[in-house]
Structure 1
Amino acid sequence: MADWSIDGLTRARPQALFIACGALARELVDLKRMTGWAELTVTCLPAHWHNTPQKIAPAVLRKIRAAGNRYDRVYVLYGDCGTGGELDRMLEAEGLERIPGPHCYQMFAGTDAFTEMAERDPGQFYLTDYLVRHFDRLIIKGLGLDRYPQLLPDYFGHYTTLVYLAQTADSRLRDKAAKAAERLGLAFEYRHVGYGEIGNFVAAAAAPAQAAE
């Protein structure tokens, strides 16, 4: 393990824990590799809990308590994700912060860019790499459209465009996202946004460890 110095003392490089939504697991593993932050541990909660957001804050708290004193720093990579402020209240009581933003769409696109998109066309439906990969399971089957296709207008009748906020330049995912838009009867827009504010957040957290190598 690399050593780092602070206040003239040499110590082991800090161990850090990222508690995140399972929809961000692949991206966090990629960012861990890209930053070379070997001492970073990633633990995730089920992505489908967005459908039951009341589970998120208690589960994050259990992860925090289970971590005990084994880590120098703990970071939370979650939006509010429908918790109605419960996640923020819990983290404030624990003395921890999460990445800013209400959801991962804004985090990936960037706050200014997402605000501009949403104001330009409030009828946009967003997909990320994760949601494109699991579109059939999470959207079609998750909403019951495989069994009740007549519900499609009820769910998507007020949307105009499917916007694919891509983390990676994967032509297969782009094609799959375009087919998803066609299946939902929506126009298609592709934006390669990369890791956005999530990448910036991880890089900033990793910077003290990297600077000490």
Structure 2
Amino acid sequence: MAAAQKQERTPETRLQRVLVIACGMIAREILAVKQQLGLDHIDLTCLPAEYHFYPDRIAPAMDKAIEQARSDGYRHIFVGYADCGTGGLLDRICEKHGVERMAGPHCFAFYQGLEAYRKVEDADMMSFYMTDFLCRQFDAFFIKPLGLDRHPELVTDYFGNYEKLIYLAQTDDPALDAVAENAARMLGLVYERRSTGYGDLVPGLARAAPPAL
């Protein structure tokens, strides 16, 4: 839907708007913040959520997406990613195009807020994070790709070094809580729930202000 909205804009209209090019894992949350803050100047398009597993694909895909957005008439672009495992390569793309991205190492950090994350980063070293998206897509993003539906004995191989599952909850949804709790039980991990809301995504998107006319 976001991509379709982008295509419906005329080049003249796009000059006055901000395009957020984001990870598909946070699309729902960006739209929620947009509505919450009344950020009507923002358009959204997303790269595939599966790049969460292939961070080497993020920077080159973002490079192409920004070039396409410029060609479509967008001068004002905001990158809806943290570093997300690119090892600084995404920052090089942002610098190349003169655009800003979400601050922080990954969405698990900016959902908690970078200041709060720094205080728990070391203690959470052996923790497996889940978000609303990952709860909704737990089977599609973890169970099936890792083959745990066919070989549940692999749980120890994949998750044996974790001690805790921490659900970073963007919303209060009992169904998602149940998924996270069941996941912790299945993986043999201690369960913790942190109600984060949208964290630094709110000020981050708020800074993507509409250009002055």
TM-score by length of 1: 0.87
Deviation at 1:205, TM superposition (A): 2.3
- The aligned residue for residue 185 of structure 1 is 188
Give the number of equivalent residue pairs.
Answer: 199
Deviation at 1:136, TM superposition (A): 1.1
Structure 2 Cα separation of the partners of residues 205 and 91 of structure 1: 14
For residues 122-146 of structure 1, give each alpha carbon's deviation from its aligned partner in whole angstroms, at most 9, with x where no partner exists: 2111000000101111111121211
- The aligned residue for residue 168 of structure 1 is 171
Cα gap change, 1:160 to 1:171, in 2 (>3 Å): same
Structure 1 Cα separation of the partners of residues 119 and 191 of structure 2: 17
State the SS of the aligned residue for 1:139: helix
Cα gap change, 1:72 to 1:90, in 2 (>3 Å): closer
State the SS of the aligned residue for 1:120: coil
Deviation at 1:23, TM superposition (A): 0.2
State the SS of the aligned residue for 1:119: coil
CA RMSD of aligned residues (A): 2.0
Question: 45, 56, 60: which is aligned to 1:43?
Answer: 45
Decide whether the 8 Å contact of 2:18 with 2:208 is kept in 1: no
For residues 150-176 of structure 1, give each alpha carbon's deviation from its aligned partner in whole angstroms, at most 9, with x where no partner exists: 211111111111100000111111111
Deviation at 1:204, TM superposition (A): 2.6
Deviation at 1:112, TM superposition (A): 2.3
Q: Which moved more, 1:16-25 or 1:38-47?
A: 38-47
- What are structure 1's unaligned runs of at least 5 residues? 1-11
Structure 1 Cα separation of the partners of residues 166 and 108 of structure 2: 10
Deviation at 1:148, TM superposition (A): 2.0
Q: How does 1:76-87 map to 2 (within 5 A)?
A: 76-87=79-90
Decide whether the 8 Å contact of 2:15 with 2:75 is kept in 1: no
User: Structure 1 segments of 4 or more deviating over 4 A?
Assistant: none
Q: How does 1:25-36 map to 2 (within 5 A)?
A: 25-36=27-38
Decide whether the 8 Å contact of 1:13 with 1:39 is kept in 2: no
Deviation at 1:149, TM superposition (A): 1.6
Larger radius of gyration: 1
Decide whether the 8 Å contact of 1:165 with 1:192 is kept in 2: yes
Structure 2 Cα separation of the partners of residues 113 and 127 of structure 1: 17
How much identity, in percent, do the aligned residues show? 46
TM-score by length of 2: 0.87
Structure 2 Cα separation of the partners of residues 175 and 151 of structure 1: 22
Decide whether the 8 Å contact of 2:15 with 2:74 is kept in 1: no
Deviation at 1:47, TM superposition (A): 0.8
Structure 1 Cα separation of the partners of residues 124 and 74 of structure 2: 43
